[in-house]
Amino acid sequence: MKCPDLDRLIDLDLGKPDPELQDHLKGCRSCQEDMGLLYLLPTAAGLPEEVPDRLVDSVLDALPGSRGYSSPPVVSLGQKVLTGAIGFLTAAGGLVLTGSPGQGGPILLLVLSVPVGIFCGLLGNSVDGETVKGGV
């Protein structure tokens, strides 16, 4: 396609889907430069304004080394094993109490309970610690 007029580039930049133009942009340096100008406009046109301290502080508190920073929890192997064991015993106990293994006996009990124990052990490592303490 030929290079589009400015209106079409503006429309694309403001969110109007235009797959043909997007394809064209990949190989056209001139249009890429025009799009670059549009990308720069928002912050070039904007003027700094006061930001409430509480907002800035809420982010600063999340920085490593801050009092409010919550680092991702480190889960030791022992803790994982313990969590897994608790999961296994809970599942096994529940099955025994409800009589679910039935004629399958201990083998079925193991088959049903071991995956629960493994799942619980892995679950102990899934906390991502992304909570921001002292939020706004």
Partner 1 sequence: MGAVVDLDRFWAADRAHLEEIIKAHSWIVLKVARRFGEAQDKTDDLYQSVWLRVIRNPRSYRGVGAFEAWLFLVATNLCRDEARRDVAERNRLEKVGRDDLLRDFVGKTPFPDESVISEERHAFVREAMRGLPAREAEAINRIYWEQRTYREAAKAMGIKEATVRSLVRKGITRLRSQEKGLEDEVS
Binding site for partner 1 (CB under 8 A): 6-7, 10, 12-17, 22, 32-46, 48-51, 55-56, 58-60, 62-66, 130, 132, 135-136
Maximum Cα–Cα distance across the chain:
77
Q: Can you read off the two tokens belonging to residue 31?
A: 């249009």
* Least distance between partner 1 and beta carbon 12 (Å): 8
**Whether the Cβ atoms of residue 124 and residue 87 lie closer than 8 Å to each other:** no
Nearest to 110 by CA among 86, 92, 87: 92
C-beta of 7 vs 102, nearer to partner 1: 7
**Whether the Cβ atoms of residue 117 and residue 85 lie closer than 8 Å to each other:** yes
C-beta of 6 vs 85, nearer to partner 1: 6
* Least distance between partner 1 and beta carbon 83 (Å): 26
* Least distance between partner 1 and beta carbon 114 (Å): 36
